[in-house]
Amino acid sequence: MNSRWVRWWPAAAAVLVLAGGSSVAVAAASGAFSSRALAPNGECSAPSLPGVVIDVKLADMGGMMWGGYGARGTTRISLSSDTAAAGTVSFRVANTGRLVHELVVLPLAPSHTVGERPIGADNRVSEKGSLGEASNTCGQGAGAGIDAGAISWVTLHLNAGNYELVCNIPGHYAGGMFAKLRVG
Ligand SMILES: [Cu+2]
């Protein structure tokens, strides 16, 4: 459990208060994030990927997002490792949630932390400087988004530095879909 999780759960508790303590809210608090098992073989298995391979999971509270669209703590990205050696890095991205998600790799300036990008009127963040993305259901690279239960993958060359991995489906960054990767 990293420090991000510690910050998230109080937010979930706050949402509980808003929900008025209904039985639905209690059920959500005890395990609302979906974690579906993905097909180990078949159309949605990734090929063998080069370089350092990082497994990424994209999750959400699906229909339990009663705290409000984009409420912090309703969506998340988790990484098998938050560090990687500079060079070839492959991301194997599994959507374990109920909504469509994606993974976009953005540079993170030294003085910045994840989660603080300004959110536009379209409920998305700027993708300026993007190094690449995995948003192609059962395929590599950019596409229309990763369907629930599917995977996508992308291989990038990353120089030493910090990166912010985000999902830029409207409302999802605000919901908590960002994670830091340190390359060096
Ligand atoms: Cu998302």
Q: Of 58, 84, 78, 75, whose CA–CA distance to 181 is shortest? A: 84
76 CB burial (10 A radius; 0-12, 13-18, 19+): buried
Q: Which of 5-9, 114-118, 147-151, 153-157 has the lowest mean pLDDT?
A: 5-9
Q: Of 140, 165, 142, 163, whose CA–CA distance to 153 is shortest? A: 140
- Measured from the Cβ of residue 120, the count of other Cβ atoms closer than 10 Å reads 10
> Ligand 1: distance of its center to the CA of 134 in Å?
12
> Ligand 1: distance of its center to the CA of 145 in Å?
9
Give, in words, the CATH class of 33-183.
Answer: mainly beta
Q: Reply yes or no on whether the pLDDT at 62 is more than 90.
A: no
> Ligand 1: distance of its center to the CA of 51 in Å?
25
**Can you point out the beta strands (E) in 46-173?**
52-60, 75-79, 83-84, 87-95, 103-108, 132-134, 139-140, 151-158, 161-166
Per-domain residue ranges for the chain? 33-183
| Enclosing H/E stretch for 174 | helix 172-175
pLDDT score of 74 = 86
Mean pLDDT of 161-180: 96
In three-state secondary structure terms, 63 is helix
Q: Reply yes or no on whether the pLDDT at 1 is more than 60.
A: no
Mean pLDDT of 68-74: 72
> Ligand 1: distance of its center to the CA of 85 in Å?
26
Using CA atoms, how far residue 156 sits from 50, 87, 128, 184, in Å, is: 10, 8, 16, 14
Give per-residue pLDDT as tens, 10-52.
Answer: 344 344 334 433 333 333 443 477 666 665 544 588 999 999 9
The structure tokens listed for 89 are 């890095």
Give per-residue pLDDT as tens, 113-146.
Answer: 999 999 999 999 999 999 999 999 999 999 999 9
Which of the two residues, 6 and 124, has the higher pLDDT score? 124
> Ligand 1: distance of its center to the CA of 26 in Å?
24
**Is-contact 162 179, C-beta < 8 A?**
no
Computed over every residue of the chain, the mean pLDDT equals 82
> Ligand 1: distance of its center to the CA of 78 in Å?
12
Residues measured by CB to lie within 5 Å of ligand 1, the ion:
101, 167, 169, 172, 177
